[in-house]
Amino acid sequence: MDFVYRYTPEQEAFRSEVRSWLEEKVPEGMRRPLDAKHMDQELFEWNFEFRKELGSKGWLHPMYPQEFGGGGLTAEHNVVIQEELNRMEVPLPGHDNGFDLPALMVWGTDEQKREFLPPRLTGQKLGWQLFTEPGAGSDLASLKTRAIKDGDDWVITGEKVFVGGDVGYASEDTKVPDELQMGELFCLAVTDPNAPRHRNMGFFYVPGDAPGVTAQTLDLLIGQGKRQVYLDNVRVPSSRVIGGENQGWQVAQTSLEIEHGGAGVVAPRNRAIDFMLDWARNDGKSSGSHLQQVMMDAYIDSEILRLFQMRNFWMYAAHQEMTYQGSQASLWRKESGLRVADFLREAIGMESLVDVNDPKAIYGGEFEAHQRETLAAAHPGGTIEVQKVIVARRLGVSRTKERAAPTPSTAAAK
């Protein structure tokens, strides 16, 4: 049996095409900032333009249908593209929160797909997720943002928190993001307060520049470009409701299924582990047996995550029916991230806590950013406890039994 993946000559030719295109487009020395707090406007704008160029080739969302602005390419092409983007360390190829796109594919009408998919799949617009509220995080169904029907429109009022793509910049004086960043906001809001839980909300696309939308940047442990967003009587036409006016919960489940890890990761990579191995090799530090134990714990932990993520990518691409696999990967990612941060502190010592602003920081402060990043990463898209609840329900060891939400992969297989 041979487990080594061998690329076909056609795939290798495609790799050469992608590589030479990237070498031409990505300026020498262009690096992503470790923390979105250090994202400046110039780099953001370069990246925005670069995403559009990727999009025009169909390489921003390679596996989406061409008719909607995707590449119409295979899983294998996608692997090659992601490997090459990784190799070049292209700064932030995907700083859009795109978890709505699969939901749109499953629940949107043809007209809605034609309206909302192309600008996002080609990088013309960014998307932000407006689910969480100050009083509704893990218990998302208790959200209070209200949508009231007025003629053919809905008028939405409420407050959302932790909103955004992965990066963004804001003026230091105002902490306000600009219109480039606030593209489409996909937002859950209560449409019928008298209806039962989970059948009382809609999934809306709110234009980021609609009157009544304001946003303020949050100063968090790590940047992530997160905002508090206020919706004050924001008027949205009914054509911007996806999946029926009381069906928002079901639509959001598809989005969350993907956010949890239901589509896997195309070419998973743990930069901190790469740096740790490099650090150990170059300094002869690998000779200490305790250090070796700690570093191999970190390596194996992250390798298990890589394999879960690749398995999910394969299952998704092969239209396999999933149950707990998405949340299993999410759970492992979150818990393993915290463990790996501990291992790295133990292996590398105090130097792992020196940040990018200090000239003595090793690897430009990568380890320090990883310490903060892994703490923050335990929360988005459902905390560790929430992921455990989902896995338990899907394994049938809970009073509530549940199935995985439909995704473009499983919906297409039917």
Ligand X SMILES: Cc1cc2nc3c(=O)[nH]c(=O)nc-3n(C[C@H](O)[C@H](O)[C@H](O)COP(=O)(O)OP(=O)(O)OC[C@H]3O[C@@H](n4cnc5c(N)ncnc54)[C@H](O)[C@@H]3O)c2cc1C
Q: What string marks each residue from 259 to 298 as x (binds ligand X by CB under 6 A) or -?
A: ----------------------------------------
Told to check if 383 binds ligand X by CB under 6 A, we report yes
Told to check if 131 binds ligand X by CB under 6 A, we report yes
Cβ neighbours of 16 (radius 10 Å): 11
Told to check if 385 binds ligand X by CB under 6 A, we report yes
C-alpha 104/C-alpha 413 separation (Å) is 17
- Please state the closest distance from residue 234 (CB atom) to ligand X, in A: 16
Binders of ligand X in range 209-248 (CB under 6 A): 224, 226
- Among 72, 118, 137, 212, the residue binding ligand X under the rule CB under 6 A is 137
Burial 363-383, CB ≥16 within 10 A → b, else e: bebbbbbbbbbbebbeebbbb
Residue 51 or 226: the one with the smaller Cβ distance to ligand X is: 226
**Helix runs in 217-365, H state only:** 248-257, 271-282, 289-317, 325-348
Q: Which residue is nearest to ligand X (CB)?
A: 137
The answer to whether 208 and 182 are in contact (CB under 8 A) is yes
Nearest in space to 70 (alpha carbons), one of 6, 128, 118, 136:
118
Told to check if 331 binds ligand X by CB under 6 A, we report no
The two tokens of residue 193 are: 């307060």
Backbone angles phi, psi at 221, to 5 degrees: -55, -40
- Please state the closest distance from residue 222 (CB atom) to ligand X, in A: 7
- Please state the closest distance from residue 381 (CB atom) to ligand X, in A: 6
Told to check if 65 binds ligand X by CB under 6 A, we report no
Cβ neighbours of 43 (radius 10 Å): 18
Told to check if 371 binds ligand X by CB under 6 A, we report no
Handedness of CA 61, 65, 71, 75 (dihedral sign): positive
Told to check if 398 binds ligand X by CB under 6 A, we report no
Told to check if 25 binds ligand X by CB under 6 A, we report no
Residue 129 or 352: the one with the smaller Cβ distance to ligand X is: 129
CB-facing half-sphere around the CA of 393: CA atoms within 13 A: 14
What kind and span of H or E run contains 139?
Answer: none
The interface region with ligand X, picked from 103-111, 307-315, 326-334, 373-381 by CB under 6 A, is 373-381
The answer to whether 102 and 254 are in contact (CB under 8 A) is yes
- Among 56, 138, 216, 293, the residue binding ligand X under the rule CB under 6 A is 138
Cβ neighbours of 193 (radius 10 Å): 10
Residue 259 or 366: the one with the smaller Cβ distance to ligand X is: 259
Residue 119 or 380: the one with the smaller Cβ distance to ligand X is: 380
The number of residues that bind ligand X (CB under 6 A) is: 20
- Among 82, 122, 129, 336, the residue binding ligand X under the rule CB under 6 A is 129
The answer to whether 316 and 266 are in contact (CB under 8 A) is no
The answer to whether 353 and 282 are in contact (CB under 8 A) is no
- Among 379, 392, 402, 411, the residue binding ligand X under the rule CB under 6 A is 379
- Please state the closest distance from residue 110 (CB atom) to ligand X, in A: 27
Told to check if 386 binds ligand X by CB under 6 A, we report yes
Amino acid letter, 156: I
The answer to whether 201 and 189 are in contact (CB under 8 A) is yes
Binders of ligand X in range 96-115 (CB under 6 A): 97
CA distances from 390 to 60, 98, 331 (A): 30, 22, 10
The interface region with ligand X, picked from 5-13, 100-108, 115-123, 381-389 by CB under 6 A, is 381-389
Q: What string marks each residue from 164 to 203 as x (binds ligand X by CB under 6 A) or -?
A: x---------------------------------------
Told to check if 141 binds ligand X by CB under 6 A, we report no
Nearest in space to 224 (alpha carbons), one of 132, 311, 144:
132
C-alpha 212/C-alpha 130 separation (Å) is 15
Told to check if 37 binds ligand X by CB under 6 A, we report no
- Please state the closest distance from residue 319 (CB atom) to ligand X, in A: 28
C-alpha 406/C-alpha 107 separation (Å) is 9
C-alpha 394/C-alpha 342 separation (Å) is 30
- Please state the closest distance from residue 99 (CB atom) to ligand X, in A: 8
Told to check if 75 binds ligand X by CB under 6 A, we report no
Q: What string marks each residue from 150 to 169 as x (binds ligand X by CB under 6 A) or -?
A: ------------xxx-----
Binding site for ligand X (CB under 6 A): 97, 129-132, 137-138, 162-164, 224, 226, 376, 379-383, 385-386
